[in-house]
Structure 1
């Protein structure tokens, strides 16, 4: 006879009923109710007005920039975040702890400070921007600058998700693969990547979600030019400053639905990859 699942188990924390009650209350007050209010406020404007607001050319252009730049930045971080995590785990070198701690700087640095620093650095008169300008490459006040800012704030998510998984992979696994005649290419893509792929995908999802709603670090370096470098969070703030609360919530509802769909898709891919490589 199959053993019954025991819901009540010994724990130093309160029992399941009390813990579950606090959990649901906390999630409801801080997440569910605020998000629900967005849709309730949007419902008051009617479908015709809602569609007219969210499909304005200026709004659509901000969607394209925000989503495209967030995806590009998350993709860049997925590649270089994996490389940085690999170096920090597999190699010992002077200053390793300093660099490891430096990775978390975007978490602690105020986004406005990051935006000002990146703008000063990549402007045509900045330390880096003046040399890029020689080759006709402009970063500040262009869509490229938005990608740079989003890449800066999203890097720690990938590194911190992949790093613990890499630390759990024994070097003997790579040595065994090499002893069986596998090349480094095959060892990485057939042995290591399947193990770290769920963590890498989680880091990508977190970096993408963080970049999608970023405001402070982008508002300075983008230049905020409508139809060109204006991101959706800035457009929402503009409507709030104009006391157009309904229009702001309508745009926010579209971004919320898109973010939710993207997270569902990424979670589905994670579930598939875990079942495949389990």
Structure 2
């Protein structure tokens, strides 16, 4: 069942027209290469420009009739044209299981440089995260679709990584304004209902890390976590798994990600049961799991 807080994935990017134009895998590959070239030209060089990728299914992203591909949870977060993955898929991003110690050599951790003086971890390689929607048959599907599919909801090249939640918060406040900030901070004094339930930065006005609020899907209230994440709290706010320094909190700035409201790609049928977050190296491996879909394919 949809909520007033659900929102369409493709309504926030600064390049929605570009997303609509990308209808073939060759076009998606070209867009990815353009991101790599732009980053190396305007930001920093890579140790190697061969892309590394992760593909995963977000249980909180689903197709809704009248809305399209919609986010019902907190991550990925698309507010204000900024893509972020800070509160879900923590194991994919380096968080150890309860029985394991922190692992700085986790495969995802190794994709990033050490933090700079502001806590920013720049990627060593072009790192793309491709997020797909749930194919749960209880959800809606497009009228033209014969079956429920893992539709590709967003493709993001990571521009910034952070270990510490407070560093992520400081970056957001010094870099953005409007919805990108207003709907993300769960403990801001003037937080919005979206921030309290769907925000991904548990930092207050003073810059202190806080527990997810009770009204948040990862909080200790009555809300259900649409993503299936653990909501178990530790003795200190820093101990809550959302705030753990052992998983890289990822950001893709405007022009480095695309989001689709209407599905254009989906995991191939033979890949739909290959869940988890498979690692890919190179464009061919990253994109071979997908196929174009839609009325005009």
- The verdict on a shared fold, with TM-score over 0.5 as the criterion, is no
TM-score norm. by structure 1 comes to 0.22
Structure with more of its chain in helix, by fraction = 1
Structure with more of its chain in strand, by fraction = 2
